[in-house]
Every structure is written in structure tokens, then in C-alpha cells.
Amino acid sequence: MGGFGSGRPSLRPAVEASLRIDLAAPHVKAIVSADAFRQGSLNWTSAGAPAGSVGYAFYPGTADHAEFVLRYALNGEEQSQRIQLVTTVPRFGGRRWWFLCPLFQRQGERKLVRCICLPLGGRYFASRAAHRLNYRSQKDSRDLLGFLDRLQVKYGFDPA
């Protein structure tokens, strides 16, 4: 009971299938580190085709607090979402920006995250944990033994 590959396969959507805004991405890091009002759009592609677009306005606020305002359309309906950013001071100096997950904030929790996602069928950008998203590699690992068996059959490998 409970061995490798046991249990139901996950039906949760994958992070990789979501629109993601990652504070470690160079284009997002440039927006936040400028300490000045910025606006524009973030665009995603999938297999060379447009996969999504979000308009943003960045309001720097104070040295340790800022705000992103995101504007996007879902099913023809315009959405607007405010996401707060805060900073922490790493051990060796400088400052590091974090998103405050808006869905955890509604529940009265303060969860700092580097990346926010909008999954397929989702309505709001929020953390991976709030949307209960998995990474694709978490799903693939369950099929490892079956994959190895298929390779053995395909290439005629005989372990004996």
C-alpha cells in the first residue's frame, strides 16, 4: 500500500499551462526595479502563437511597498485586479520584491510569493498554492515505470 505510483493521478491544472508573472523574469524585474510609474502589457505565446496578454500599471509607492494593477479580458468581460508588492531585505543587503497573494489576503493571510498565475478557467492572478496548481513534472513522475516499460518494448531491451 502507498508504493511508488500508487494513488489517483492528479487532475489539477499545471503551472506551465498558466499565464505567469514571475518577479525573477528579466522583463518584470526591470519594471519593478525602476522605482518609477510604468505601464504597458505583458504578452505570452505558445508554439509561436499569441496565448494571452495583460495590461499593467506599476505604482512604486514607498521603498517597501508598491502595487501592480492588471487589466485583462476573460470571456469578453474586462477584469481589473490590484496586487500589492512588498520587499524584504536579504541577508547580504539589497531588497527583494514579493507579490502578496491576493486570494490568501482575502482570507486574512499574508503569503509572499515570487510568481502569480492565471490558470486556464481561472478568474484571478494568484499564487500557485491558492490555485492548487501542480508542476507538470509532478504528474509525469507517476508514469515513470510505464514509460520505462514502453521503452523496453519499443527498443527490444532484455534486462536478463
How is the chain split into domains, by residue range?
1-17+133-160, 19-130
With residue 116 as reference, give the H or E element that holds it: strand 115-118
Residue 23: per-residue pLDDT: 92
Q: Could you report the per-residue pLDDT of 45-82, keeping only the tens digit for each?
A: 877 888 788 999 999 988 788 999 999 988 788 989 99
The residues of the chain scoring below 70 in pLDDT are 1-12, 136-144, 158-160
User: For residues 4 and 145, is the Cβ–Cβ distance under 8 A?
Assistant: yes
* 77-88 sheet: strands from edge to edge: 38-46, 49-62, 65-74, 77-88, 96-100, 112-113
Count Cα neighbours of 111 within 13 Å in the Cβ-side half-sphere.
17
Q: Is the pTM of this model over 0.85?
A: no
Q: Which of 65, 159, 53 is nearest to 110 (CA)?
A: 65
pLDDT of residue 3: 52
